[in-house]
Structure 1
Amino acid sequence: MKRKIVMKVPMNCRKCQTKALKIAAKVDGVTSVALGEEKDRVVVIGEGVDAIKLVKSLRKKFKAADIITVAEVK
């Protein structure tokens, strides 16, 4: 079951965006990572991705990260 997880992460600069994408890409099961339409969104698509584990790893670096949506991808 593939999932699409959209998270809000406070990113002020290009370096912060790159770090957030790298952290998200290291989580098990992630197949693609991208920035959302809005500047502070990270979109993760993968199979068997644990959204809670993903947010916890982002919170270690950015202190604030919230899950906006978790949906199945067909």
Structure 2
Amino acid sequence: MKQKVVIKVSLNDKKCRTKAIKTAVGVDGVIQAALQQDKNQIEVTGDGIDVVDLTNRLRKSLKYAEVVSVTPVEAKKEEKKEEKKDEPKPVWPPYMGGGVPVIYELRDPYYNHCQDPCTIM
């Protein structure tokens, strides 16, 4: 289940921001991490994220971390893919009668492939 986690952290300088992103991305299941600098929050998106582990790691590296919200992310892409599956697909190669495929022979069956056709005798 994909989820979006927002955690409030103290982002005082560039070093703290870098440390927060590296720590968040290091947790299993994290797909994306983004900073909201004006609110001093980090927004983490992922699949099966352990929120307690993520918060504890951020507290260990930044000394302050508080969970603001955990919300599930709806998969809009999957709904679009399911709609496309309903369309019929063309069958190739074309079939004749009893399910036997049509085979087109483009070369002469009496042509000997061992001889080079460009040699002049």
* Structure-1-length-normalised TM-score: 0.94
1:5 equivalenced with 2:5 (yes/no): yes
Displacement, 1:37? 5.8
Displacement, 1:14? 1.2
User: Structure 1 counterpart of 2:26, which letter?
Assistant: K
User: Structure 1 counterpart of 2:6, which letter?
Assistant: V
Displacement, 1:13? 0.6
- Secondary structure at the counterpart of residue 8 of structure 1: strand
Question: RMSD value over aligned CA atoms?
Answer: 1.1
- Secondary structure at the counterpart of residue 38 of structure 1: coil
Tell me if the contact between 1:6 and 1:69 (Cα under 8 Å) persists in the aligned partners: yes
Greater relative CO, 1 or 2 (CA 8 Å, sep 6+): 1
Displacement, 1:39? 4.2
String of CA shifts for 1:29-48, please: whole Å, max 9, x gaps. 00000012634100000000
User: Where does the alignment leave 5 or more consecutive residues of structure 2 unmatched?
Assistant: 75-121
Displacement, 1:71? 0.1
1:57 equivalenced with 2:61 (yes/no): no
- Secondary structure at the counterpart of residue 49 of structure 2: coil
The structure whose residues are more often strand, as a share, is: 1
In structure 2, how many angstroms separate the alpha carbons of the residues matched to 1:37 and 1:47? 24
Q: Between Structure 1 and Structure 2, whose CA radius of gyration is higher?
A: 2
